[in-house]
């Protein structure tokens, strides 16, 4: 295994452990929404997509996340508003990630979506 691949594996294992350890509040299910969020800052090559995907799955959210060519990360996140707010707050709290700006826009929910994935 190449050193870079070993480093990525160590980082990914760390991310997964951190998400599993995070304490989740008791949520009161509120509005069911879908948001398109664009993250600007140091958000690529730091495990950002994996961390967002793992926490979204834990929060029972659906959607996707992907890297953009300009260095941003974009996601569509669907689920209860309070859970999406928690996810975004969680992502902002991470020390190795630096979100300088976050665009958060509503979009139409997708019927029959059952998973959250990295694309």
Choose, from 34, 35, 49, 83, the residue flagged as catalytic. Answer: 49
How far CA 56 is from CA of 59, 70, 79, in Å, comes to 5, 24, 9
Rounded CA-CA distance 39/103 in Å is: 7
Choose, from 67, 70, 85, 112, the residue flagged as catalytic. Answer: 67
* Token pair 């975004």: residue: 88
Q: Is 11 a catalytic residue?
A: no
Max distance between CA atoms of the chain, in angstroms, equals 46
Q: Is 17 a catalytic residue?
A: no
Q: Report, as residue numbers or ranges, the catalytic residues.
A: 49, 67
């Amino acid at each position: 295994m190449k050193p870079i691949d070993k480093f990525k594996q160590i980082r990914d294992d760390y991310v997964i452990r951190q998400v599993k350890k995070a304490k989740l509040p008791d949520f009161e299910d509120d509005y069911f929404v879908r948001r398109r969020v664009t993250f600007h800052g140091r958000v690529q090559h730091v495990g950002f997509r994996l961390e967002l995907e793992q926490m979204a799955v834990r929060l029972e959210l659906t959607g996707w996340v992907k890297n953009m060519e300009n260095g941003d990360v974009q996601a569509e996140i669907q689920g209860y508003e309070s859970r999406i707010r928690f996810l975004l707050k969680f992502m902002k709290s991470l020390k190795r990630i630096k979100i300088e700006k976050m665009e958060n826009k509503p979009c139409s929910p997708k019927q029959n979506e059952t998973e959250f994935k990295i694309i």
